[in-house]
Amino acid sequence: MMWLVNLLVLLEFAGCGLATLTPQLLFQTPNGSSFENLAVRPSSQLLITSTVSPTLFTLDPTAANPTLDEVFTFPNASGLSGIAEYRPDVFAIIAAVRNTTPAMDAPGSVVIWSLDFTARGAPTARRAARIPQAQFLNGLGTVPGHPDLVVAADSLLGVAFEVNVRTGAARVLIQDEATTPIGPSAPAPVLGINGLHVRAGLLYFTNGQRQTLSRVPLGNGTVETLGSGAFDDFALDIEGRAWVATNPGSLTLFTPLKNGTFEEETVVNTVLNEPSSAAFGRDGARETKILYMTTRSGQIVAVDTSGGD
């Protein structure tokens, strides 16, 4: 009868979507403070933002006992959200006075900062752009081939801005039904477009309320929905796969198929508690297979994605 017991166990695991990748918990804040987004420096050190703190943090994921250290505190702000490396070791970061009830940025408080780590000593900060019309600036991404451009998601307005971090100019890049919240009568928080990244002329983005991952050409084009789930931010790998932080506690992998569609599967469903963002490591073949993730429960997690090949 042992074979029957083993079979029943396998069936039980198969029915609940057994995770194929095992995450490693690198750090947990003692008070469970929320982490929002992260980026990885060329040195492999992580830069981490929080919507409840104006301070940018860093963590060395290769250390035996990683610690969370302060890097820079942005003035006239209460929280940070998106972060993206737009030039080598130079990062754009969204800072604002963020209200929680309701979830929105104080009018006129949204600033995209540039933080430059290329010189010795402390990083150099400058205000790169003000977005006075922004209501809840969230995800941030770069535009390959255009080193001074970033794209920023306004989750309340339901638009993606294109921002020139050299001149400070900003314009609406895309506004579509697929980027907007469902409507004011929907359950709070009323947040539309969230994480976003550009790859091969396509803007990939998630929508919090519509619970979708979609993509659209940067020029005029039709929005294509790739899958559905409680998605937040995500990372794209060199193979064109999307690794999406999925609430309440999983990681979803989208793999492009030859017929133009995507295969969707849950590859992690343990350890994670309200995952918020993901970014791949740097510096070496193994490190580039490590996916780092933040969570709103104060976790920093590493996932070795080579097991998913």
Q: What percent of the chain has pLDDT over 70?
A: 90
Predicted confidence at residue 12, as pLDDT, reads 32
pLDDT at residue 308, rounded to an integer: 46
**What's the pLDDT score for residue 188?**
62
Confidence of residue 13 (pLDDT cuts 50, 70, 90): very low
Q: Which domains does the chain carry?
A: 22-308 (2.120.10.30)
Q: What is the pLDDT of residue 186?
A: 62
Average model confidence (pLDDT) across the chain: 90
* CB neighbour class for 93 (10 Å; exposed up to 12, middle 13-18, buried from 19): buried
The two structure tokens encoding residue 173: 């890049």
- The larger pLDDT score, comparing residue 185 to residue 300, is at 300
278 touches 269 (CB < 8 A):
no
The dihedral region occupied by 255, where left means phi > 0, alpha psi between -120 and 50, and beta the remainder, is: beta
**Range with the lowest mean pLDDT among 36-50, 95-109, 194-208?**
95-109
User: Is residue 307 scored above 80 in pLDDT?
Assistant: no
| Residue 253 pLDDT greater than 60, yes or no | yes
Of the candidate ranges 43-57, 130-144, 147-161, 184-198, the one whose mean pLDDT is the lowest: 184-198
- Top pLDDT among 33 and 135 is at 135
pTM of the model: 0.91
Residue 31: what pLDDT?
85
What was the pLDDT predicted at 32? 79
pLDDT digits (tens, 9 = 90+) for 217-246: 998 789 999 999 999 999 999 999 999 999
How confident is residue 286, by pLDDT bands cut at 50, 70 and 90? confident
* C-alpha span between 256 and 233 (Å, rounded): 18
Contact 162, 174 (CB under 8 A): no
For residues 39 and 80, the answer to whether their CB atoms sit within 8 Å is no
Containing H/E element for 8?
helix 2-15
The two counts, helices (H) then strands (E), for the chain are: 1, 26
Which amino acid does the sequence have at 264?
A: E
Question: pLDDT-derived band of residue 265, with 50, 70 and 90 as boundaries?
Answer: very high
The SS3 of residue 308 is helix
